[in-house]
Amino acid sequence: MTGVLPIALDNATKAMPVLMGLDKEYVGVMHLHKDFDLENLRKVISEKFVGKIRQIPPVRSAVVRRLRIKRVYFFDILEVEGRDVLFKVGCEAGTYIRKLVSDLGIALGIGAHLTELRRTKAGHFTEDKSHSLVEVKDAYDFWREDGEEKYIRKILIPVEHAILHVKRVFVKDSVIGAITYGAPVYVPGLVRIQEGIEKEEKVAIYSLKGELVALGIAKMTSEEMYEKSRGLAIRTDRVFMEKGVYPRVWK
């Protein structure tokens, strides 16, 4: 498989848990083992392979082989050449496309297997914003050998841009120092709250300057954070900002 793969470096590796669950989009080629009717193929796909599907991971997989429910947002046929079918799929993270194609072949009664697959999108990361391994290596070599930073700066993005899909809250400068040592966020320390936060959801904690301070687990909904005057709002999980970088505010 080829295509889009978000890679985190240094401190940004702490953001990988919220990047692993991004929805994916693929373009691939499946080979059907016998001649088929295109309209019947489209009908079987729309009836059985779009929406919530039941899938058991393949034998060679990194997870336990148990029945799982996954969501396929769309499964479009783009082009047909003989028994080869070019398709495009948008799906929930953790959906096995090779197994999806195999199960489709079984549902059709003629068999099918995947011959090519390319990930074209992962969350908001797209091919047009991606860089090849050759580009990355060349940019790194320019930086290491000549001190030239402009090429590598075009490739690297701030961690804040990588987690735009994560709901966020903004906190007072006076509480940031404590958060960098792992302290939780209490309601009085909140300044702005994004709507739609649910309990136990991963949230991003920002300074008023838009700097990522930490990721945390919401212990209140957005509504509760707005309405209550005290209480634990967010349990700090992963800290990104250097410890104690914000000075204490003395009264």
pLDDT (tens digit per residue) in 85-134:
999 999 999 999 999 999 999 999 999 999 999 999 999 999 998 999 99
Sorted by where each begins, the domain ranges of the chain are 23-122, 128-157, 166-239
CATH of 23-122, one of 3.40.1190.20, 3.40.30.10, 3.30.70.3190, 3.50.30.10: 3.30.70.3190
Give CB contacts under 8 A, 24+ apart, made by 185-191: 185/216, 185/232, 185/233, 185/234, 185/236, 186/230, 186/231, 186/232, 186/233, 187/220, 187/225, 187/228, 187/229, 187/230, 187/231, 187/233, 188/229, 188/230, 189/233, 190/225, 190/233
Instruction: State pLDDT tens for residues 191-206.
Output: 999 999 999 999 999 9
Instruction: State pLDDT tens for residues 6-63.
Output: 999 888 999 998 998 899 999 999 999 999 999 999 999 999 999 999 998 887 777 7
pTM for this model (two decimals): 0.83
Domain 166-239 has CATH 2.30.130.10: yes
Instruction: State pLDDT tens for residues 153-170.
Output: 889 989 999 999 999 999
- At 15 the pLDDT is 92
Lowest mean pLDDT among 5-9, 186-190, 227-231: 5-9
Sign of the four-CA dihedral 24, 27, 32, 36? positive
Residue 222 near residue 197 (C-beta atoms within 8 A): yes
The SS3 assignment for 70 reads strand
